Structure 1
Amino acid sequence: MTVRKLAVVSAGLSQPSSTRMLADHLSAATVSRLEEQGFEVEVTTIELRDVASDIMNNMLTGFPSPKLESVLEAVTGADGLIAVTPIFTTSYSGLFKSFFDVIDNQSLTDLPVVIGATAGTPRHSLALDYALRPLFTYLHAVVAPTGVFAATGDWGESADSVKTLPNRIGRAAGELAALMKDSDRSSQVRDPFGFDSVMSGVGGFQPS
């Protein structure tokens, strides 16, 4: 059976968090779509709060801890990515941005991504398109057309929320599964820190 690797990044700060809940729903729906097509799916779920100090130390020193290095390799070596952040002050969280800042900007090239966000009110939903989508476009990822935003009210029992949020999750999962189906990223060796590309331009050094 063909294997596809799915990385799930949640930048929620509380535990439990609506951010992690949205990430888990997107993950389960994507896995279901891929399994329906005969794929085996390996899922790695990453809570950024667990590596927050490692991310900051990496930004200060330029070197990742073994724990952060493992996380970065899981993301850059995946066939697909689900990235979900809470919205703070109209944009993604600082922790979310810092994590993607420490990844080499070529390491996510052609990586299929579904973006998601959570906030207290629906007025922050546009952050998907003016903040998250440009971030992953800059990183050369392939962003699925459907982004998923969940406000606090979307987790309630109203008729609208019961219908619309699952529909958005299902549509985004279907798009990500379709993009992951033909991926060969997990079979490639990638450097999440761009070391090879940097050193190749230093003194004529060529990595062996």
Structure 2
Amino acid sequence: MRLVVVSAGLSVPSSTRLLADRLAAATAARTGAQVRVVELRDLAVEIAHHLTSGFPGRRLAAALDAVTGADGLIVVTPVFSASYSGLFKSFFDVLERDALAGKPVLIAATGGSARHSLVLDHALRPLFAHLRAVVAPTGVYAASEDWGAEGLEGRIERAAGELAGLMGAVGAGAATAPAAVAPAAVAPAVPQQQGASDAAGELTVVPFEEQLAALRRSG
């Protein structure tokens, strides 16, 4: 299994990257997945060029391929102006249209205050629902005061367990999917019209005009 982590942290060291690493470690411990981290900070220039030219650079193309081919994603953004960062959104803007369809995703964010925790449900969850990803029920928000406090580790473990379950369900579904069966030839449908059956039980179609004329003669 391949687990890809997208981190939009800008500083070094970054609390966004720290949260991403802890979520990845907890998920990998449950799935045995190989983890790859995509640092958007290192791709900022290539993302901007792609938005204006329509062509990804070498490193950005590799990152987009990794995300597209992942069995599960962990996406983490810092909160800017009560939403995800522009760099974070720009990266997902340059993904192919259906790249995340059906893909398990764990959403997470970091910020300076607990007041911004609603960013998970007001910004991140709608974004990935629009991209048709399968978003884990538990999102993880870490404010400055959460580091070292009780509660964060439990949220990390619960979210990682949910993502691992989604990844396992998707993998099992792919492994047990039945082989494609060529459709049998189907005779074209014949419009049913009022008529009478012959001796063999087959329908003999009588045009409506003839039926109407027969009724008038009998009347």
Q: Shorter-chain TM-score category?
A: 0.7 to 0.9
1:122 paired residue number: 114
The CA deviation string for residues 85-131 of structure 1, in whole angstroms up to 9 with x for no partner, is 00000000000000000002211000000000000000000000000
2:13 paired residue number: 16
CA distance in 2 between counterparts of 1:96 and 1:61 reads 19
2:216 paired residue number: none
Q: 1:182 aligned to 2:172?
A: no
CA distance in 1 between counterparts of 2:46 and 2:36 reads 18
1:84 paired residue number: 76
The CA deviation string for residues 12-69 of structure 1, in whole angstroms up to 9 with x for no partner, is 00011000000000000001111xxxxx411110110010000000000000011100
CA distance in 2 between counterparts of 1:166 and 1:33 reads 15
1:63 paired residue number: 55
Note the 1:1-208 alignment, pairs <5 A: 4-34=1-31, 40-156=32-148, 161=149, 163-184=150-171
Give the partner amino acid of 1:170.
E
CA distance in 2 between counterparts of 1:152 and 1:184 reads 36
Quote how far apart the aligned CAs of 1:184 are.
4.2
The CA deviation string for residues 121-154 of structure 1, in whole angstroms up to 9 with x for no partner, is 0000000000000000000000000000000001
CA distance in 1 between counterparts of 2:58 and 2:11 reads 24
RMSD: 1.3
Q: Kindly report structure 1 stretches of 4+ aligned residues shifted beyond 3 Å.
A: none
CA distance in 2 between counterparts of 1:105 and 1:166 reads 34
CA distance in 2 between counterparts of 1:21 and 1:90 reads 20
CA distance in 1 between counterparts of 2:66 and 2:4 reads 7
Task: Give the TM-score taking structure 1 as reference length.
Answer: 0.81
CA distance in 1 between counterparts of 2:97 and 2:159 reads 24
Give the partner amino acid of 2:147.
W
Task: Give the TM-score taking structure 2 as reference length.
Answer: 0.77
SS in 2 for 1:183: helix
Unmatched runs of 5 consecutive residues or more in structure 1: 35-39, 188-208
CA distance in 2 between counterparts of 1:106 and 1:22 reads 27
